């Protein structure tokens, strides 16, 4: 398992930040096709519907195209982005056996996309929670999830013990040019819930260039991939701010997110939850500080 750790966590804590239907945090694969969004096209009267139809594929964490489909059906559910409660009426679907195909129609706007983990032992999949996700805006029709056999490694590299009443929270800091993702930001520091320093109680960490999260005494800011990690984030609402000057000023807009449940409440046998998010900074060029060692 150790030979796969780097690739897995680098991807999981690289893809989850995108618009989060890319299950974990830098591009979500090489497929530049777009999901069907029939509900948002103007009608004869010029009006735009408030629903969309998403079409995609559930794939393994390494996948770059639908050939990496997960054959075992998974329940996929849309939750309210602010409360974590199921939508009314509910919006759910099962990925297709064999092909992993996903189709569902629901309201536009930001939601939580929840892929229920399933299976037993190392073959079980990890509950995946994609917050602030608007499937109608996603340019990668792949939802990626990891198996239990490729998870649980971060605790060793980053020196923490996962708590049953908490959840893992990962994300990356991206810079946007003309409202489009252009790259990630290095040497950024993350501040959660109004804190003025690292949140040790929620086991704050950053991912090293290797892709693995490491203790703060080894790395206290984002590497070039822009990835951050809270190993034991609390359930409920959080806010995230980002600074490039040790908290003197902040870049981008403070981002809110909602963690709907804890590891103990996971559907998978593994009893693990990975929440994924993105933080965006609009800038004409990459705002990574010039003296940043991570380029």
pLDDT higher than threshold 90 for residue 38: no
- Residues 35 and 138: their CA atoms lie apart, in Å, by 7
54, 85 Cβ separation under 8 angstroms: no
Calculate the average pLDDT of the chain.
83
Nearest to 149 by CA among 247, 263, 268: 268
pLDDT at 63: 86
Does residue 290 belong to any structural domain of this protein? no
Does residue 69 belong to any structural domain of this protein? yes
Domain that holds residue 268: 2-282
| Cis? peptide before 216, omega within 30° of 0 | no
Does residue 291 belong to any structural domain of this protein? no
pLDDT at 94: 98
What DSSP string runs through 30-86? S-------GGGSB-TTS-B-SEEEEEEEEEETT-SSGGGB--S--EEEEEETTT-PB
Looking at per-residue confidence, does 162 or 25 come out higher? 162
Does residue 226 belong to any structural domain of this protein? yes
| Confidence bin at 55 (pLDDT 50/70/90) | very high
Provide the domain count of the chain: 1
Does residue 99 belong to any structural domain of this protein? yes
Query: pTM score > 0.75 for this model?
Result: yes
pLDDT higher than threshold 50 for residue 244: yes
- Residues 133 and 111: their CA atoms lie apart, in Å, by 5
pLDDT at 139: 59
Does residue 276 belong to any structural domain of this protein? yes
70, 123 Cβ separation under 8 angstroms: no
pLDDT at 152: 67
pLDDT at 42: 42
Instruction: Convert the pLDDT of each residue in 159-199 to its tens digit.
Output: 999 999 999 999 999 999 998 889 999 999 999 999 999 99
- Residue 83 φ then ψ, to 5°: -125, -20
Give percent of the chain above pLDDT 90: 64
| Confidence bin at 33 (pLDDT 50/70/90) | very low
Does residue 267 belong to any structural domain of this protein? yes
Q: If you ran DSSP here, which 8-state letter would residue 148 be given?
A: G
pLDDT at 240: 98
Looking at per-residue confidence, does 131 or 61 come out higher? 131
Instruction: Convert the pLDDT of each residue in 94-138 to its tens digit.
Output: 999 999 999 999 999 999 999 999 988 777 899 999 899 887 775
- Containing 12, the helix (H) or strand (E) segment is helix 2-15
- Containing 171, the helix (H) or strand (E) segment is strand 167-177
Lowest mean pLDDT among 137-141, 164-168, 283-287: 137-141
pLDDT at 39: 41
Does residue 265 belong to any structural domain of this protein? yes
């Amino acid at each position: 398992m150790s030979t796969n750790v780097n690739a897995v966590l680098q991807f999981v804590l690289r893809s989850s930040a995108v618009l989060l239907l890319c299950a974990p945090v830098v591009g979500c694969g090489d497929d530049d096709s777009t999901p069907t969004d029939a509900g948002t096209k103007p009608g004869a009267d010029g009006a735009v519907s408030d629903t969309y139809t998403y079409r995609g594929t559930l794939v393994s964490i390494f996948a770059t195209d639908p050939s990496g489909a997960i054959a075992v059906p998974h329940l996929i559910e849309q939750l309210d982005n602010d409360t974590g409660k199921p939508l009314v009426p509910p919006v759910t679907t099962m990925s297709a056996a064999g092909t992993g195909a996903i189709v569902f129609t629901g309201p536009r706007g930001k939601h939580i996309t929840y892929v229920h983990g399933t299976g037993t032992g190392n073959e079980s999949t990890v509950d995946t929670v994609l917050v602030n996700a608007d499937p109608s805006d996603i340019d990668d029709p792949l939802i990626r999830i990891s198996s239990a056999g490729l998870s649980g490694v971060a605790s060793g590299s980053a020196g923490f013990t996962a708590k049953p009443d908490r959840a893992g929270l990962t994300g990356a800091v991206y810079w946007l040019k003309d409202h489009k993702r252009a790259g990630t930001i290095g040497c950024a520091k993350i501040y959660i819930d109004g804190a003025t320093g690292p949140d040790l109680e929620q086991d704050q960490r950053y991912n090293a260039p290797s892709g693995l999260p490491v203790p703060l005494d080894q790395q206290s800011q984002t590497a070039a991939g822009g990835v951050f990690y809270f190993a034991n984030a609390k359930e409920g609402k959080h806010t995230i701010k980002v600074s490039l000057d040790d908290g003197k000023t902040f870049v981008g807009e403070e981002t809110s997110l909602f963690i709907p449940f804890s590891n103990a409440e996971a559907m998978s046998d593994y009893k693990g939850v990975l929440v994924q998010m993105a933080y965006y900074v609009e800038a004409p060029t990459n705002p990574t500080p010039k003296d940043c060692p991570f380029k």
